[in-house]
Structure 1
Amino acid sequence: MNIKNGFTLIELMVVLAVIAVMTAIAMPLYQYEMRKLDASAVQQEMLKLADQLERYKSRNFSYHGFDPKYLYDEVNPMSSVNFPLKGTKKYTINLYDSSEATGKKLLSSDSGLGQRWAIIALSESEKNYSFLFTSTGLRCKNKTKANINFTGCGAVNTGMETW
């Protein structure tokens, strides 16, 4: 009796097909979970910045002139924060003086009233949310960056959600 040990080509191809199907299912789920993780991390960063803004106002009676450089061990003034701090940039976080009529002045600029703030985190990926958080308590998100402004994140039918 001549017995040969090993796998046939058909058996190997079936195993490869099963692995390919499992990978095709797992990869999008993994990428979705990583985007959720990034979004959660940037929300925490925005809350940290909001806390520091309130501390700054309690000492200076205004948000005007707030510069987050001390939070990130930077020497130069910061007009925006790339997030995460190390690695591939996934968000750009800007702090604006929303008490201005235009709402486009950064809090660290020399002009502005400094009575209200808005933090906008814009995603580098069109598959992830961009966020708005204001001193008036507005928290919203949208996957379309163009819908994010200082007063809101668009309408519900355009993808706006609260967080």
Structure 2
Amino acid sequence: MKKGYKRRFSTSFNQGFTLIELMIAVVVIAILAAIATASYSQFIKRSTAAQAQQEIAKLSEQLERYKSRNFSYKGFNASYLYSGGTGFDVSTQVLTLNNTYQISIVDGMLSTPLLTDTNSLGNQWAIRAISSDPSNYSYLLTSNGLRCKNKSSNLVNYNGCGIGAEEW
């Protein structure tokens, strides 16, 4: 009777996983996690870029509304769109978006003064979104209809997107 008890007890120890099987499972999980992390970071970059494009489109729409009421872009202040500490600096008219994009609005004719400045002509505007991430696009939209993007943010100024630019 004791021999049968020992056989049953000894066979239950042989029903586990080996070290090799566990290591293979860990390696497979690590590979899947690496693929998922890379895909997720690409998704976040595309999402942030789409949000920047959306903000540029919103600003351009508000600029056109402002001109239809005032017959000029001069004096446009976007602070009413971004109340409540959303990252908009009233003095420089710059919106910081997710610590990734700096979106600025200037007079399109002179490329330096803000539309709120007294030196502004107010006939045109330019909106530039510069990405702090070098693997993401920087954008430009002007009242003349110029819509371009470039991964080299230093080439994107208020007049164009430089060499290697694409339309968006």
Say whether residues 1:162 and 2:167 are aligned partners. yes
TM-score, length of structure 1 as denominator length: 0.88
TM-score, length of structure 2 as denominator length: 0.85
Number of equivalences: 154
Q: 1:40 aligns with which of 50, 59, 62?
A: 50
Percent identity (aligned): 45
- Number of the residue aligned with 2:17: 7
SS of the aligned residue for 2:118 comes to coil
- 1:86-125 equivalent positions in 2, closer than 5 A: 89-100=99-110, 103-125=111-133
Deviation at 1:7, TM superposition (A): 2.1
- Number of the residue aligned with 1:80: 94
- Number of the residue aligned with 2:41: 31
Larger radius of gyration: 2
CA displacement, residues 27-57 of structure 1 (integer Å, 9 cap, x when unaligned): 2221112101111111011000000000111
Q: 2:71 aligns with which of 35, 52, 61?
A: 61
- In structure 1, give the amino acid aligned to 2:32: M
Deviation at 1:108, TM superposition (A): 2.2
Q: Distance in 2 between matches of 1:69 and 1:133?
A: 19
Q: Distance in 2 between matches of 1:46 and 1:143?
A: 17
- In structure 2, give the amino acid aligned to 1:77: V
CA displacement, residues 36-89 of structure 1 (integer Å, 9 cap, x when unaligned): 1111111011000000000111111111111111001159735211114xxxx1
Structure 1: state its 5+ residue gaps: none
C-alpha RMSD of matched pairs (Å): 1.6
SS of the aligned residue for 1:146 comes to helix
Structure 2: state its 5+ residue gaps: 1-6
